[in-house]
Amino acid sequence: MTFFFCTTVSGQFHPLPGTFFEHDFFPQHKVFDISPNGQIAITVRNDPIAVGSARLSTFDPILGTAFDNETFGGSDGAREVRFAQVGSQLRAVVLTGSAARTIYLFDISSTGQITPITSTQLSTSNGVGGSNIVLSGAGAAGFAVVIGGAERELVSFSLNDGSVLKRIPVSGLAETLALYEGGGKRLLAFRSGLNLRVLNVLDAANPAETASVPMTTNGEFSGFNIDGITFSGDGRYVFFTSQFFSFRRST
């Protein structure tokens, strides 16, 4: 695994040993993040020694200097890692799940040292479908959509202790979550079945739906379903695209 750092005038490579594949089948592309202050980079990959486990690593994003490593989990296939600044604490969350979806919560010191806090199982299903995670440092909460048996659920969880804050049933399986924070708003957007839903998540334990916009299918029926969702800079608009739907802009 190699990370490439680029400025407007130069670039450099930081090689990291090992690879990252969930189930040794699907390559994951959300396995790298940088702290809000830009001083610590983090990545998750297959542990080169403990077969079936994941390894979390922190390093200097400019120089590539290694800070710390932590091996965790079993053969449950980590999918992504994300950073959030929660007050004075820097937290990292890894979403796993070749079997049940689980989050691993870590504290990251100012020097990049990794301290495990807890792990929380979000679902009981052995299904591998599901969303990315989005984190709100200001709200001290994270969000993911998981398969819970025959049900699909939007799950919010605490970035302080990893506890589940709320479960909300959703239709279909949301592949992408998008979060907007600013101007006193915290909005979460995702596709639920044939609708693009937007929730007010200022209170992560009590999300409230603010919009549900019906989408227009385009007749496509094959391939993996991967949604693209983004907010405008002021949070007034949500843009959605997918190979199965016509492009939509919602206010």
User: Can you give the residue range of the structural domain that contains 150?
Assistant: 2-250
- How many domains are there within the chain? 1
Query: Rounded CA gap, 28 and 11, in Å?
Result: 23
Radius of gyration of the chain measured on its C-alpha atoms: 18
Burial class (CB in 10 A: 0-12, 13-18, 19+), 22: buried
Output the pTM of the full model: 0.85
| Bridge partners for 157 per DSSP | 142, 164
Among the listed residues 140, 83, 77, 87, the one whose alpha carbon sits nearest the alpha carbon of residue 112: 83
Contact 106, 117 (CB under 8 A): yes
Among the listed residues 196, 195, 194, 197, the one whose alpha carbon sits nearest the alpha carbon of residue 209: 197
Look at the block and give the residue holding tokens 């549900």. Answer: 212
Residue type, 128: V
CATH of the domain at 68: 2.130.10.10
Token pair of 9, please?
Answer: 């005038």
Print pLDDT tens along the chain (251 aa). Answer: 555 555 555 556 666 544 555 444 444 457 889 999 999 999 888 777 776 678 899 999 888 889 999 998 765 566 789 999 999 999 999 988 666 788 999 999 999 999 999 999 888 766 656 678 999 999 999 999 887 666 788 999 999 999 999 998 888 767 789 999 998 999 999 988 788 899 999 999 999 999 988 877 777 666 666 778 899 999 999 888 777 766 655 55
Query: Rounded CA gap, 116 and 123, in Å?
Result: 21
